[in-house]
Each structure stands twice: as structure tokens, then as C-alpha cells.
Amino acid sequence: MLAHPFMQHAFLAGTAVALAAGLVGYFLVLRAQVFTADALSHVAFTGALAALAAGLDARLGLFAVTVLVALAMGALGQRARPDDVVIGGVFAWILGLGVFFLTLYTTTRSGTGNGAASVSVLFGSIFGLSAGRAVLTAVIALLVSAAVVALARPLLFATVDENVAAARGVPVRLLGLGFLVLVGLTAAESTQVVGALLIVGLLAAPAGAASRLTTRPLRALGLSAGIAVASMWLGLTISYLVPALPPSFAILAVATLTYLGTALPRLRLRPA
């Protein structure tokens, strides 16, 4: 399987992206901000289509728009935690823009041979990554992972008790904005692997499973990353062995089944 270059690229980029998604996803679940990631996944879709409609590289719009909207949502929310009203407003507005840019792109530029680009943004194209793109994706994902690990302890403190953290001198608002930037970067890079519609599954399912398996935050953080990477590896392998299964579906199916498995009473850890 790994003798094929496209599988090598898929495993390289997929492993790094899954690692970042598992780390970021744990804090999303802990901070009850999964809806934020859902909104940013649609932002990623809209940003990519806006860039394509303008004749630019989709990745330019993908990363720039997602990070900018993440910062805007943080600025509108209390202590950089956007509430449901802010997220819902952005969600509805960005969906409308996404439809507009999709229509604009398909009517003006689909004849250039990139008509499948919008489908790739929606559902991912991990088997179509070039060597350069796979390496760039992996580098960005590893930088995001390193940033999450570096911020893990103060971010955990600010997540558990914002008021006490602020009283102790922890820059709660700055941490919140920084975390949203990391979420935006993760959503943007994950779009290339599993697609804008399925990003939330990769962010939430491994983290949810880890939270059920242990009550220790740092252990759960590592476990979330491990489950996400294992789901990526198994999903890619299954998709290779059964070509009829799209890789995005296989990856998310493994992650979701893992989460459902941890919901069984015999696997759920009950705190003392």
C-alpha cells in the first residue's frame, strides 16, 4: 500500500492533520465550542470558493478568510468565547456567501478544468495531494500541534475557571483569540483531507471518546490525538482496500464508531 506515492502523501498529510485535530478538538469539547468549529468549517468552504471565483489559489482564501472570521468571532464574544448568537449569525451569513460564490465560480470559471474543485472543498481530496502540498499541509498541522501543546496548561486553566485564571494574571482573552486562530487553521487544513462538511467529525469524535475514557485532562488530550491519528490510519487503509469507500467517509466512520464504542457502560470511566 505504501509503495504508491499518493498513499505516502495521504499518510503524511493525514497523520499531521489528525494530530492537530485531536489536540484542538479536545479543547473544543472541553470549552463547549464545537459549534464554533462547525461554523468555521463553512467559513473554510466559502473562503476557498471565493478565492476560486477570483481566479486565485483556493488555499489562499481557505486560510485567510477562516482565520480572519475566527478572530472576528472572538472579538464579538465575551473573553474571546463567541456565544450562540454570534456563531449563529456568522453561520447563516457565511452559508449565504458560500452559495453565492459557488454559483459565481461554477458559472464563470468551471470551464477552466477545475469544475471538481468545489466538490473537493466539500468532501476532501486526500488521495489527490501532491508531494509539495502534502508536505506544506503537514508542516502547518505540526506547527498548530506544537502551539496547542505549548498553550495546553494555561488554556486548560482558563477553560476550567476563567475568573480565577484572570485573577492569577492569565491573559484569558488573548488565549481565547489565539485558540480560535488555531481552530481556524485546523479547519482550513482539514478541509483538504476530509472536506468542509466533515471537519467537525474529526474534531469532535476523537475528543469526545477521550473525554469518556479518562477524567485527567492532559491524558485525555494525548488520547484524543491518538484516537484521531488511529482513525486516520485505519480509514485510509480501509479506503485503499475497498476502493468504493471514499477516504473521508472511512476516516469519519472509524472515528464515530470509536466514540459510540466508548458510550457503552462497560467502557465509560466513572469518576470517584
Q: Which helix (H) or strand (E) holds 196?
A: none
pTM assigned to the model: 0.81
pLDDT at 122: 61
Q: How many CB atoms lie within 10 A of CB 28?
A: 25
pLDDT band at 110 (very low <50, low <70, confident <90, very high): low
Compute CA 271 distance to the chain's CA centroid, rounded to the nearest angstrom: 29
pLDDT band at 197 (very low <50, low <70, confident <90, very high): low
pLDDT band at 272 (very low <50, low <70, confident <90, very high): very low
pLDDT at 158: 83
Helix (H, G, I), strand (E, B) or coil at 78: strand
pLDDT tens digits, one per residue of 144-194: 999 999 988 888 888 887 778 778 887 888 888 888 889 888 888 877 777
Residue 261: pLDDT over 70: yes
pLDDT band at 113 (very low <50, low <70, confident <90, very high): very low
Cell of 168: 492569577
Cell of 85: 448568537
pLDDT tens digits, one per residue of 28-51: 888 888 888 777 877 877 877 787
Q: Which helix (H) or strand (E) holds 61?
A: helix 58-76
Whole-angstrom CA distances from 158 to 153, 154, 172, 217 are 9, 6, 6, 13
Whether 56 and 65 have beta carbons less than 8 Å apart is answered as no
pLDDT at 224: 93
Q: Average pLDDT of the chain?
A: 81
Task: Of 35, 67, 52, 37, give the one whose Cα is nearest residue 98.
Answer: 52
Cell of 76: 464579538
Compute CA 143 distance to the chain's CA centroid, rounded to the nearest angstrom: 14
Rg (CA), the chain: 18
Residue 102: pLDDT over 90: no
